[in-house]
Structure 1
Amino acid sequence: MLPARRTLARVLSRLLLAGLFAWAGWRLAIVARDAYDYHGGRFFDETGRYGRAVPALERSLRRRPADPRACRTHLRLGRIYARRFERCLEARRHFESAAREFPDDKVCALEARTEIINCPDFFPLERGRAWVYGDTASGGRNMRLEVEGLVSKEGQPLLQNSLFAGNKRISVFRKQYVKKDWAVWELDAGRETAVLRYPFRAGNSWSVARGQKETLSYSIEADDVEVKTKAGTFFGCIKVRELDSRVRRAWKYDYYAPGVGRVKTTVGAPGVESPNTELITYR
């Protein structure tokens, strides 16, 4: 009986070792596969092969959604979809995941909240951009506003506004803006006003207190509007209502086009919406 038991023990030991080696090989294969998807996806992105980068990085996230590198992977995928493919629906999905699901990675979440404002970009601030607005009634002959994108000494984007009455320039002023925390903020004497806030969908609303007696209330009234102006016809626009608490019976509508910015402004009252200014040219 002893030889038989020894033989059985040897067989069982060999089977156990074979199982351990198989398990170890399986684990190594999984690790290698995950490493390939993550590092390969990064490599494909950095070498401009975005069509191969996306599926590799998506597989990496599906297998390891809580990986410490997952926030950065979501951010990388969002930027590829936004900047390379101009597919904002997929980009926003990844930016939102990076911004909301990884509170411990504050820098990554902050970057994601900024990136999501730019896809689509309803408020471009790049240096060199320019817009010319005019009163709708005269097509800009009576009143004209020329806006130019600049950069401050501190490196912050700002817009220089030159207001003309006929051919006479009557004022020049600058406004500074920053994109952060899900919104586009206008800076004025240390005070921040959110002029646009994500999500850019009908029904979204927000308020900004300006002193003890003034509150500006904003709401997105529509999110897929066609707008016709002297500069052309724009699709996919959002319509934003601004209501000043001091003037309850009238309000302002601003229309923003993706990739262009504000294209039209109207004045509203109960049952009435009158054209005020519109975009004439831009670059």
Structure 2
Amino acid sequence: MNRSLAILALAAGLACAHAPAGPQAPAPGPGPADYFPLAVGNAWTYRDRSPQQPDAVQRTVRIVQRDRDGYFVDDQRGALRADADCLHDRARRLLCKPFAPGATWSSVVGPSTTERYEIAGVNETVAVPAGTFQGCVRVRARVRGGGVEQVAEQSYAPGVGLVRLETFVVVNGVARPQVRGELESYRLTGR
């Protein structure tokens, strides 16, 4: 699961395999947009602190437009939108309610592979160079294939967005870190 820092800021895409049955009222409480504020002009700067990266690499991702489909498009070719229940990229749901440990959803990765998501933590405190953030939600995504499990954990801070991304490859029960990106700074011009 080699993900670039552009993905780190606004994630990547996989096709959604699960759709809610019938119309549903939005769940009460904070929504996905509260954990990833989307507005033209918002920007996040990340530092790649991956184990195989000898020198930390910095990348800034800026939202540059809102397209006719309602997606906020960034300058790294990513796109996100939030509805009452989920934060989406163009093909998958990245953060979904309820924000309760163990809540799950899935996305189709390919013809025979499914990526599974779960809320791995709520009300967490995450310390990164941009600051210490309270009330974070951590999402864990897993995909298995060829005897290897790929795992990504993303931590979202309320009112800020993605503050940490870590990916691992698990082979024979041993987790090997791949990518570690942390929020270094951010600028929010609106929601």
**1:134 aligns to 2:43 (yes or no):** no
Cα displacement string for residues 80-136 of structure 1 (whole angstroms, at most 9, x for unaligned residues) = xxxxxxxxxxxxxxxxxxxxxxx6xx9xx5xx56995257x1122112211000112
SS at match of 1:210: strand
The runs of 5 or more residues in structure 2 that have no matched partner are: 1-22
For 2:129, the equivalent position in structure 1 comes to 230
Q: Which runs of 4+ in 1 moved over 6 A?
A: none
Tell me the TM-score normalized by structure 1.
0.49
SS at match of 1:249: strand
Which letter does structure 2 place at the counterpart of 1:175?
G
The 1-side partners of 2:39 and 2:85 are apart by 18
The question of whether the paired residues in 1 share the 8 Å contact of 2:167 and 2:180 is answered with yes
Tell me the TM-score normalized by structure 2.
0.70
**1:175 aligns to 2:81 (yes or no):** no
Identity of aligned residues (%): 27
The 1-side partners of 2:100 and 2:81 are apart by 21
Which letter does structure 1 place at the counterpart of 2:130?
A
The 1-side partners of 2:28 and 2:82 are apart by 6
**1:279 aligns to 2:179 (yes or no):** no
SS at match of 2:101: coil
The question of whether the paired residues in 2 share the 8 Å contact of 1:113 and 1:180 is answered with no
**Between Structure 1 and Structure 2, which shows a larger proportion of strand residues?**
2
**Between Structure 1 and Structure 2, which shows a larger proportion of helix residues?**
1
Q: CA RMSD in A?
A: 3.1
Q: Give the alignment of 1:200-239 within 5 angstroms.
A: 200-239=99-138
The 1-side partners of 2:138 and 2:67 are apart by 33
SS at match of 2:182: strand
The runs of 5 or more residues in structure 1 that have no matched partner are: 1-102, 162-172
For 1:14, the equivalent position in structure 2 comes to none
Cα displacement string for residues 27-79 of structure 1 (whole angstroms, at most 9, x for unaligned residues) = xxxxxxxxxxxxxxxxxxxxxxxxxxxxxxxxxxxxxxxxxxxxxxxxxxxxx
Say which structure, 1 or 2, has more relative contact order (CA 8 Å, 6+ apart): 2
